[in-house]
Amino acid sequence: MSDVSLTDDQKILVNADADLFVAACPGAGKTRAMVARFLKRASEEDRRGIALVSFTNTAIDEVRTRCGDRSDVLSAPNFVGTFDAFLHRFIVTPLYVAFFKVHPRYVQSWSEVQGTKFRMATGKSADVDLEWFDFDDQLRATLDMGRVDRNFGNVEAREKLRGLRLEAEQRAAQVLRSLLQAGTVSCDTARFLAEIWISNDKYRPILGGLLRSRFAEIIVDEVQDCGREELLILEFLRGLGIRMVTVGDLDQAIYEFRSATPTKVLEFGTTLPLQPMLIENWRSSPAICAFNNSLRSRTMIERPVGDTAELGTPIYLVTYAKPDEILPSALSISKQYEVHTDELVLLAHRRKDALRAAGMAASGELGSNRVAAVADAGLKLRSAETDAVARRDAVRRVEKAILAVLADGGDLRFKSIEGACAELGIDERRLREVSVRMAVSLAAQGKTRSQFANEVRAYFRGVQWAELNVVEPELNGLGKLLQAPTEEVWNSISNCGRLPVQCSTVHGVKGREFKGVGIVIPKSLKPNEESGRTLLDDWEHGHDSESRRVLYVAGSRAKELLMVFVHQQHREQVARILEGSAVPIVQLKV
């Protein structure tokens, strides 16, 4: 990349010879500048490497693409990957193998593993979830009643659980030990283990020696998404003399569910000697920048300077009563501004709201039925507009269905998909291929639930199981294992066709941009448990909150056209907010 193509502010990021914390608005060209720095520094170092980490695979894929023909810099001693991948590879795995005598297999969350829930004698209630417990450095569990799911049971069931706290904590500790001994580790647990080992006087020097000899500098993209454990790791690396280059936007901190703490990130950033700002937005139109600025909680104000800087398109505020009214309106407005369907995306905080707006059911609404999983995966895989996360989740549900059949009653409760494959001797790549082939070969449209269930069972009987490196299973219990879904679940699948536009959660498109964006504000807005305020209350009265920042990230994905689809119950409040912030809007009702 030519240094001439960079602005003066971007050149500060590229050429700084000290630790720095860069605040950058969306569309400020931070990725271009970071890649330029990465290529420059990788060329300057003879022995040690440069690490460039971010928090999403999308962001990392973009970095790899922008490295162009410099594929040499993507291999050792350099590293380009997610923060989790960095943590797993260079901090957790080396000591995990020493502790547990098994190579770890990482899963995104415990929800991907069957054996992370257990029953307690609490009456009519759901299972107790491992996610409700904290653990200390001896792996002793402490139940946090504040995390207990609201659907767990009634007041009596919760009181019984409280009374059985000690037993529940003992059970949780046993479950965690079983998981770790099996080599299954969630991302949260990996951070927990990293914190333990970095804080331990015995193991800290071991890790320090490994990391100091490997890396000269770490470039952290989206630093605002760091939680306590990530900040601890960055402090640790900085203490080793590894140069620290951090870039982010605190108003884009949307990972509080993963303990991201933007205020702590700001405190960390102020300790770094250089703190430049990138406020020129090369992506969005003036109206979209005005929308974004109305949602900012910080002092930085973005300024449109790119090809869309003279565009006069307003923000469309569209009122709807039912979710199925959103898509026709989005298509109509987009056509008016020559935004093609492949340049348009519908976004929502919750996946099910985005899918409903696009005319599709969410996988989580389908229950645990394996036949439904196959039908749902086929629908999502055949649609080019389904986002990568939805496709991955759908395929993994099919993989679990196949493993359940092959296990033939075997206990896979404590196994991830990877761990189950290892135990059954199955090639993971082949399992994914068979899962995808099964899903796309069987179409649910125009069939009854019983007809489709029979097709799934027939497909199972015809699979060449040798492809998975397993002995031909007997398949005597297919009727029980592959039952037809309920009528309600089946209707939600079979009535869906190909998605006409892309749809996603806001988290799923972080780091991406689109010519047109439709944001869905649903009827149900969950109040914050502590403040009692909704997203719109925070937006109107200037309170910083994650839900407000999520909306900010959604709006900042748009380049030319931004449509806000708000349920009729909230129209007046949203209109008042936008007009009070001098955001140019056109109001429509569908």
Q: Residue ranges for the binding site for ATP?
A: 24-31
Mapped onto helix, strand or coil, the DSSP state of residue 315 is strand
By the 8 A CB rule, do 562 and 517 touch?
yes
| Numbered residues of the known binding site | 24-31
Q: What's the distance, CA 581 to chain centroid?
A: 31
What does the block give as tokens for 284?
């969005």
By the 8 A CB rule, do 36 and 14 touch?
yes
In angstroms, the CA 568 to CA 122 distance is 41
Rounded to the nearest 10°, the torsion over CA 545, 546, 550, 551 is -20
In angstroms, the CA 555 to CA 575 distance is 16
Q: What's the distance, CA 276 to chain centroid?
A: 28
Sorted by sequence, the CB contacts under 8 Å of residue 293 that are 6+ apart come out as 301, 302, 581
243 phi, psi to nearest 5 deg = -65, 140
What does the block give as tokens for 462?
């015809």
Q: Which residue has the tokens 């759901």?
A: 126
DSSP 420-464: HHHHHT--HHHHHHHHHHHHHH---TT--HHHHHHHHHHHHHH--
Number of neighbours of residue 433 by Cβ within 10 angstroms? 13
Burial class from Cβ neighbours inside 10 Å (0-12, 13-18, 19+) for residue 205 reads: exposed
In angstroms, the CA 523 to CA 350 distance is 12
Sorted by sequence, the CB contacts under 8 Å of residue 470 that are 6+ apart come out as 406, 424, 425, 426
Sorted by sequence, the CB contacts under 8 Å of residue 224 that are 6+ apart come out as 248, 249, 250, 251, 252, 253, 260, 262, 265
What does the block give as tokens for 45?
């170092």
Mapped onto helix, strand or coil, the DSSP state of residue 85 is helix
In angstroms, the CA 306 to CA 284 distance is 7
By the 8 A CB rule, do 421 and 427 touch?
yes
